[in-house]
Amino acid sequence: MRRFLKNFEEYVGGTLFIVMFIVLVAQIIARQVFDQPIKWSEELARFLFVYIGFLGVSAGIKDGQHVAITFLLEKFPPKIQRVMQIVFQLAILGILVVLFIIGVRMTIRKIPVTIVSLKISYMYMYIALPITTLLMIYRLLERNFNEFIRKS
């Protein structure tokens, strides 16, 4: 269970990617071979792609693979580099909190709107932002805490 939680983004994202791939292949076969497109396949694929993308961002944050401009940072002395790192991490945390708030508001606004082909609320697509943003915040705090412990 611990291994699953440690690699949650990879397991869930990989599974969703496989499902998305199967849905798209089925759509291609249905359209090209049987001349009967699956009406809901494109919406479902888009729905899954949103979750896969956000889970990928969370995995990048967890592994410290998000974009960083180290060229300028490396020009400063180590103490200033550390202070700048803390400022950057706090800025990322602040942006994630804002994204969470925006995501909740967007989700609430989309509750009455229906994805016609899937016959579900758009809320289920938009809720990906606040859910995965919470996961990103957790991963950011976890990574920074582990780095702090390692350097102490």
Model pLDDT for residues 14-31, shown as the tens digit of each residue: 999 999 999 999 999 999
Q: How far apart are CA 148 and CA 37, in angstroms?
A: 53
Mean pLDDT of 124-139: 94
Q: What is the pLDDT at residue 73?
A: 76
Q: How far apart are CA 71 and CA 86, in angstroms?
A: 17
- Whole-model pTM: value is 0.82
pLDDT reading at 69 higher than 70:
no
pLDDT of residue 100: 97
DSSP string spanning 61-129? HHTT-S---HHHHTTS-HHHHHHHHHHHHHHHHHHHHHHHHHHHHHHHHHTT-EETTTTEETHHHHTHH
